[in-house]
Amino acid sequence: MTNALPLPDFTHERVEVMTGRRSGLFIAVALHSSVLGSALGGARLWTYPSWTDALGDALRLSAAMTLKNAAAGLDAGGGKSVIGLPVGTVLDADRRRAAFLDLGDAVDSLGGLYRTAEDVGSTTDDMLVVSERTPHVVGLPDTVGGSGEPAGPTSLGVYASLVATLERVAGTGDVAGRRITIAGLGQVGSRLAERLATEGAALTVTDVNPAKRTLAAELGAAWVEPGEAHLIPADVFVPAGIGGVLTDEVIDALDARAVCGPANNPLAERSGAERLAQRGILYAPDFVVNAGGVIYLDLVAKERGTLEQIMGRVAGIGDTVRRVFDEAAARGVTPLAAAEGLAAERLAAGTATNALV
């Protein structure tokens, strides 16, 4: 059987692959880089056609976390973990608990080089289960003194990025009356939609879950089917669901002035950044835009500042986006290349520092 996506080049420090002894599920923990410090990246629970697809996702996502954490100015490397569910699998409570106990063992085997957290498909309660097997986990429920759900900080960073993006394409960051399409109404997309609706944006929304129509109606937003969202005229298209949605075909048909959203790896191919630029569509790189959650989790765990100071750091993502746009314009490159350059500078400095130790 042909994989849905080819495995990326292997540039990782270490990858642990196992079959959970309790759950029987495929588990991968991918440590991409610890140059800047102990890696931080969430644990994804998702359905995959095969174990190779799950492994490929872990490899791609962990590499993206290296860029995200470096560009965000964190003293943290990049990593990710994946629990892969075979097609048609539905977990009952006991097997779900078993899966996250297995994940805890896998994370602990890296000896602190990688810290996990909630991600797509997992929750803060799942992280509490992980903590029974390893201390290398962040984002525990606030009911037990943890930092809680990071979707709020992530949505704040996306909002700040969207404002910076609107400044470039519309001349002002005021969202009132701006046409914004949000594709994906999960934890982050829903929070963003609620804020934008309150501020008077002209919203179009979609989600693979038709039950989200209720939220659309509550917000006064137009609803469109998922496969048609990119065809709606918009000032900003916000990919907020799964990755890989911006294929060549979608980019060629995209009716938007800019793309700015929290979805990880929204470009199906890296060349999509050039394709967007050729069409005059401004692209705010995902790993800069969606870093609010990881900034929050890392700084709270390390007790670096008050909550107000940490949230101020999250809001500062907008300034990072502005810097990326300025650098891209000055160098005549895409914003993606500029953002990767920003991350590479920090990684190079970290490598040089570690070489002297």
pLDDT (tens digit per residue) in 125-139: 999 999 999 999 999
Burial class (CB in 10 A: 0-12, 13-18, 19+), 306: exposed
Domain end marker among 144, 170, 191: 144
> What's the pLDDT at 1?
35
DSSP 299: H
Tell me: do 47 and 113 sit in the same domain.
yes
DSSP assignment of 192-244, as one string? Answer: HHHHHHHTT-EEEEE-SSGGGHHHHHHHT-EE--GGGGGGS-EEEEEE-SSS-
Residue set of the binding site: 184-189
Q: Which of 32, 213, 8 is nearest to 114 (CA)?
A: 32
Tell me: do 169 and 86 sit in the same domain.
no
Q: Give the structural domain span for 255.
A: 151-291+318-344
Is 212 a known active-site residue? no
Q: Answer whether residue 4 is part of any domain.
A: no
> What's the pLDDT at 9?
78
Give the mean model confidence (pLDDT) for residues 19-29: 98
Choosing from 68, 80, 212, 302, the catalytic residue is 80
For 45-93, write each residue's pLDDT tens digit.
999 999 999 999 999 999 999 999 999 999 999 999 999 999 999 999 9
> Sorting pLDDT into bands at 50, 70 and 90, what band is 200?
very high
Tell me: do 124 and 101 sit in the same domain.
yes
> Sorting pLDDT into bands at 50, 70 and 90, what band is 95?
very high
For 203-230, write each residue's pLDDT tens digit.
999 999 999 999 999 999 999 999 999 9
> Sorting pLDDT into bands at 50, 70 and 90, what band is 7?
confident
pLDDT at residue 305 is higher than 50 = yes
Helix (H, G, I), strand (E, B) or coil at 341: helix
Give the mean model confidence (pLDDT) for residues 167-191: 97
Tokens representing 131 are 């903590």
Tell me: do 126 and 173 sit in the same domain.
no
> What's the pLDDT at 351?
61
